[in-house]
Amino acid sequence: MKTITFDVKKRNQIALEFDEIIPDTIYTWEAEDFDKYAVPVGNSRFPLTDFFDITVEGTADSPADVKMVFNGDCGRVKYIGNKMSAGEIIVNGDADLHAGAEMSGGKMTVMGNVEAHAGREMSGGELEIYGNTKEFTGASYIGEWRGMTGGKITVHGNVGKQCGECLTGGHIHVLGDCDILAGIHMTKGVIEIDGNVNRWPGGQMKNGNIIIHGKLGRLLEGFVEEDIVTDPQIDGEIYKGRYISFKGDIALNGKGHLYLDAEKNRDKLSAWKETDDEYISLGENRKYR
Amino acid sequence: MSYEPPITDYDEIVENCTCAFCGCNCDDLDYLVKDGHVVAVRHACRLGASKIMEDLDQRLVVPMIRGDDGELEEVDWDTALDKAAEYIANSVRPVFYGWSETSTECMKEGLDLGQYIGAVLDNQATICHGPSLQAVQNAGYPIQTLGEVKNRADMIVYSGSNAMNSHPRHMARYSVFPRGYFRQRGRFDRTVVTMDPKFSDTAKMSDKWIGFEQNGDYGFYNAIRAVIKGKKLTQEVISGIPREDIYELVDEMKHAEFGVLFFGLGLTHTLSKQRNIDIAIKMVMDLNKESKWGLTPMRGHFNVNGFNIFMAFETGFAFGVDFCRGYARYMLGETNTIDLLVRKEPDVFLVIAADPGAHFPNGANQHLAHIPVIQIDIHWGPSTELADVVLPGSFIGVECAGTSYRMDGVPIYMKKAIDKPETCRDDEWIVREIKERVMKLREEPNVAPKYIPNPAAE
């Protein structure tokens, strides 16, 4: 096992791009290789050692034998773990954009917050974030209809908009709250949200499963109530509790499933009319001319 | 409104000029010229006319550099261009922003410079129709020309757009009022619907106003798609609109012979951003199974679409194109001007034909106050107060010729009507001069050089 430790010396305002420093490329590197390496910063390259104290311990025969440890604030280090296929990365602090994006194997753990695009289009491996993250977690890149296709993302904090956009496989587990349009355009895979959800999960989803243990702000019209289910089994895993099961998004003949905690989301049951009054009064004020 | 007597004291009329204000690019304007100045404009709306008629009080006419005392000082062109080139040549994260009110020919010079120095090239789409471009990249672009709208459309829908105020001649010249080949009775042959939370001026003259609640766009369009697919709505009220009204609207849309959806920033900049446009495009695709429909974004500046078309053609990305690694790349939230400025990344900012000082959020402008800003523009504005180098350009479509792209993607040649002030230069010339001076200062392109994958293996 080779352990490479990056102790932050200086936080640069212009982001460092770490797409070239992943276990797959550096498993043979020794300390002097890092001394020679210049990291992309904007339109230039600067010596990596300007920004980090680097120590290398042990040896590695393959990327899987590499453990990279970042100590300090990496809030301006982009692409950490981008396209990694094996090994382990631990960030003891924050990470910038694209953390764990397009990774296909290995494990990445971030103890702090992560900027947007975490785990985008990842196809394998495990990404665990102990803080919050922003938009497009496990999503697809613009122009692509297939987002995350495999692996697992666990976020202990909150996530931003469009988490699991175009999800085509894998598992996203959010322990905090989630912003709008989680699982938009998803076709496969599972999104599990322990906290509350702002509105419209599963917009234009074709298939896959979204489980919400918290309260949902607003449901899309494209979801049709199916049943109240207890301890549903989804992709071989049992989710304890009572859920209202919805099918959608029928606006594009989707066959996805949305499970809402039955107790916290009683207002979403067709038999529950209490909150409808609010919507009707809104509608009356907004009639056509 | 007070009565303004017609202008009769002029030397000549320059006919068939193109307006350099909004994305309508009205190309039927006549300029009344006296003593080398445009004194009146015929056929233009008040917005276009007020811009075209020169406002010499605010005109930038000489190059300036901000001195040590913080004041702008007049200098000669060589000094100003050398200073601008020096800033750019020594930059690590330069951003070249604007381009929407200059010619496509000038953009070509800017692209060459950006590629050479490894800059980010971005335009006003980043604060207006950027979400539309992202959605188009995902979902396609079922567009039609405004000529088709005029001649064929019998149902016009404005969504999140107040065309009466923002594009005053849009309805008169292209969409609602003109008599077309198949719409001989003009307005009487068309149904006009406005979807907007506000009862706007456009809504006031529409046949129908859909006043869905603010940020309710996505839910509303989702319901429309479900109804188009023949589904029954379960909720009685969706995004503030009774479901019976949605049934009625969808029925009208399905039975239109040729419908067009024009959408503005009210759709691109509400809660769901690019996903609003995405679902609107999908709705148009659904409607095309029943009838004939298209959509067009209501672009703001007269050549904002030109920059997006030009960049998409040249680089594959419409805006926010980053060349810092030696190749073109784009990522929302990463290579867009506002995101870069809020993250305090840029170290040099070149603004051409735009006014970030007036339009950017406070956090972005705060960073501009701390870095060198090079301004190429024709008017003094809030950005001039932030600028360290000011280079007076020329007015495309009035003082110099150039190509622009209308909101529907039709290229229009804008001709020259009058001479520019003697001390001003064409935008294209200024950018080319900066490029050549930067190339002298840096003999090789300044981009992060190619990476050697594994030095240990060599």
Amino acid A283: pLDDT:
37
3-state secondary structure of A261: strand
Sheet holding A16-17, edge to edge: A44-47, A38-41, A16-17, A77-78
- Which ranges in B90-129 belong to alpha helices (H)? 104-117
Structure ipTM over 0.95, yes or no: no
Question: What is the C-alpha to C-alpha distance for residues A147 and A244, in angstroms, rounded to an integer?
Answer: 27
A100 CB-side CA count, 13 A: 37
What is the crossing angle of helices B304-315 and B104-117, to 10°?
50
pLDDT digits (tens, 9 = 90+) for B424-442: 999 999 999 999 999 999 8
Q: In which region does residue A284 sit, left (phi positive, over 0), alpha (psi from -120 to 50) or beta (all else)? A: alpha
Amino acid A266: pLDDT:
87
**Cα dihedral sign, B52-B58-B63-B68:** negative
Amino acid B454: pLDDT:
46
A33 CB-side CA count, 13 A: 17
Question: What is the C-alpha to C-alpha distance for residues A133 and A135, in angstroms, rounded to an integer?
Answer: 7
The values of phi and psi at residue A9, to 5°, are: -95, -40
With contact defined as beta carbons under 8 Å apart, do A8 and A73 qualify?
A: yes
Burial profile B317-338: b = 16 or more Cβ within 10 angstroms, e = fewer: bbbbbbbbbbebbbbbbbbbbb
Indicate the pTM of the whole model: 0.93
pLDDT digits (tens, 9 = 90+) for B56-101: 778 999 999 999 999 999 999 999 999 999 999 999 999 999 999 9
Q: CB under 8 Å to B188, separation ≥6 — which residues?
A: none
Amino acid A268: pLDDT:
83
Helices then strands, each counted (H, E), chain B: 18, 20
Question: What is the C-alpha to C-alpha distance for residues B400 and B103, in angstroms, rounded to an integer?
Answer: 9
Enumerate the residues of chain B whose CB falls inside 8 A of the CB of residue A141.
331
**Cα dihedral sign, B287-B291-B292-B296:** negative
Percent of chain B clearing pLDDT 90 (strictly above): 89
Q: How far is CA A28 from the centre of its chain?
A: 30
Question: What is the C-alpha to C-alpha distance for residues A57 and A27, in angstroms, rounded to an integer?
Answer: 11
Amino acid B295: pLDDT:
95
The structure tokens 């460092």 sit at A16
Q: How many residues are listed for chain A in this entry?
A: 289
Closest CA to B335 of A140, A101, A15, A244: A15
Which residue among A42, A97, A221 sits closest to B333, beta carbon to beta carbon? A97
Average pLDDT over residues B283-303: 95
Average pLDDT over residues B31-55: 91
Helix (H) or strand (E) holding B243: helix B243-254
The structure tokens 């999140």 sit at B160
3-state secondary structure of A192: strand
Q: How far is CA A218 from the centre of its chain?
A: 22
Q: How far is CA A35 from the centre of its chain?
A: 33
Return mean pLDDT, chain B: 93
Which long-range CB contacts under 8 A does B439-443 form with residues at least 24 apart? B439/B116, B440/B85, B441/B85, B441/B86, B441/B89, B442/B89, B442/B116, B442/B117
With contact defined as beta carbons under 8 Å apart, do B137 and B338 qualify?
A: no
Q: Which residue of chain A is at minimal alpha-carbon distance from B197?
A: A286
pLDDT in tens, chain A (289 residues): 999 999 999 999 999 999 999 999 999 999 999 999 999 999 999 999 999 999 999 999 999 999 999 999 999 999 999 999 999 999 999 999 999 999 999 999 999 999 999 999 999 999 999 999 999 999 999 888 999 999 999 999 999 999 999 999 999 999 999 999 999 999 999 999 999 999 999 999 999 999 999 999 999 989 999 989 999 999 889 999 999 999 989 988 899 999 999 999 988 887 654 444 443 333 343 333 2
Optimal mutation site among A25, A43, A185, interface B, most CBs of chain B within 10 A: A43
Distance separating the N- and C-terminal Cα atoms of chain B: 78
Question: What is the C-alpha to C-alpha distance for residues A279 and B3, in angstroms, rounded to an integer?
Answer: 48
Enumerate the residues of chain A whose CB falls inside 8 A of the CB of residue B319.
none
Please identify among residues 242-271 of chain B the ones whose CB lies closer than 8 Å to any CB of chain A.
242, 245, 271
Which residue among A117, A249, A288 sits closest to B208, beta carbon to beta carbon? A288
Helix (H) or strand (E) holding A238: strand A237-238
Q: Which residue of chain B is at minimal alpha-carbon distance from A201?
A: B219
3-state secondary structure of A199: coil
SS3 string of A38-76?
A: EEEECCEEEEHHHCEEEEEECCCCCHHHEEEEEECCECC
Which residue among B238, B245, B333 sits closest to A116, beta carbon to beta carbon? B333
- Burial-class residue B59 by CB neighbours within 10 Å (0-12, 13-18, 19+): middle
Question: What is the C-alpha to C-alpha distance for residues B149 and B155, in angstroms, rounded to an integer?
Answer: 9
Amino acid B2: pLDDT:
65
Q: How many residues are listed for chain B in this entry?
A: 458
Distance from CA of A214 to the nearest CA of B (A): 21
| Amino acid letter for position B368 | L
Domain limits, chain A: 116-288
Cis upstream peptide for A249 (omega within 30°): yes
The structure tokens 């910038």 sit at A96
| Amino acid letter for position A205 | M
Q: Is residue B282 predicted with pLDDT exceeding 70? A: yes
Question: What is the C-alpha to C-alpha distance for residues B358 and B378, in angstroms, rounded to an integer?
Answer: 15
Structure tokens at B383: 């950005």
- Kindly report the number of other CB atoms within 10 A of residue B215's CB atom: 16
Closest CA to B30 of B53, B57, B4: B53
Which residue among B211, B333, B453 sits closest to A286, beta carbon to beta carbon? B211
Amino acid B1: pLDDT:
55
The values of phi and psi at residue A178, to 5°, are: -135, 140
Question: What is the C-alpha to C-alpha distance for residues B112 and B106, in angstroms, rounded to an integer?
Answer: 10
SS3 string of B128-160?
A: CCHHHHHHHHHHCCCCCCHHHHHHHCCEEEEEC
Helix (H) or strand (E) holding B296: strand B293-297
- Which ranges in B35-74 belong to alpha helices (H)? 46-52
Enumerate the residues of chain B whose CB falls inside 8 A of the CB of residue A14.
92-93, 345, 347
pLDDT digits (tens, 9 = 90+) for B154-198: 999 999 999 999 999 999 999 999 999 999 999 999 999 999 999
With contact defined as beta carbons under 8 Å apart, do A25 and A87 qualify?
A: no
Structure tokens at B412: 């229009």
Optimal mutation site among A163, A221, A280, interface B, most CBs of chain B within 10 A: A221
Distance from CA of B408 to the nearest CA of A (A): 21
pLDDT digits (tens, 9 = 90+) for B220-269: 999 999 999 999 998 889 999 999 999 999 999 999 999 999 999 999 99
Question: What is the C-alpha to C-alpha distance for residues B322 and B152, in angstroms, rounded to an integer?
Answer: 41
